[in-house]
Amino acid sequence: MTMLALSLATGIVIDDAIVVLENIFRFVEEKGITPKEAAADATAEIGLAVMATTLSLVVIFVPVAFMTGQIGRYFYSFGITSAAAILISMFVSFTLTPALCAWWLKAEDASPTTPTTKSGGFYAWIDQVYGHMLTLVAASPR
């Protein structure tokens, strides 16, 4: 049950980190500030949402640990491990993720000339095709 909890929590850990990382990248790209400033400002901006998501998941998994009876014996380790892993993911997304972004992210990575940003390259082409498809579908007679 502990391994099941850890495998379930893997997605949550990744989700928390990606939310913070994407907001930091957005700050660098749209506001043009340095990655170090963006890491602090973007984490502060998104912090309440990440904390609310994390704590709502903890509130779901902690009661599982206190189930009674035979089933409760099996689910005790699942509930405690899930809650602990989710709380650790919140800690990592507020500390390690911004620190690594401030250290490794470069302002050039978010420039419009970089083919991996949303304003150029493959993503821009997909965005254009998708926008065209939405226009066709919205304009079609019913």
> Which tens digit of pLDDT belongs to each residue from 19-42?
999 999 889 988 888 999 999 999
Provide the whole-model pTM.
Answer: 0.73
Interacting residues of 26 by C-beta distance below 8 A, sequence separation 6+: 42
Give, in degrees to the nearest 5, the angle at Cα 26 between 20 and 30: 155
Q: Where in the chain is the domain with CATH 1.20.1640.10?
A: 2-107
pLDDT of residue 74: 84
Q: 39-68: per-residue pLDDT in tens? A: 999 999 999 999 999 999 999 989 988 888
Mean pLDDT score across all residues of the chain: 86
Mapping DSSP to helix (H, G, I), strand (E, B) and coil, where does residue 48 land? Answer: helix
- How many percent of the chain have pLDDT more than 70? 90
User: What does DSSP assign to residue 141?
Assistant: -
The answer on pLDDT for 116 being more than 80 is no
Longest dimension (CA), the chain: 61
Q: Which of 89, 81, 88, 85 is nearest to 64 (CA)?
A: 81
- Burial code of 118-130, b = ≥16 C-beta within 10 A, e = fewer? eeeeeeeeeeeee
Could you name the CATH architecture of 2-107? Up-down Bundle (1.20)
pLDDT of residue 103: 92
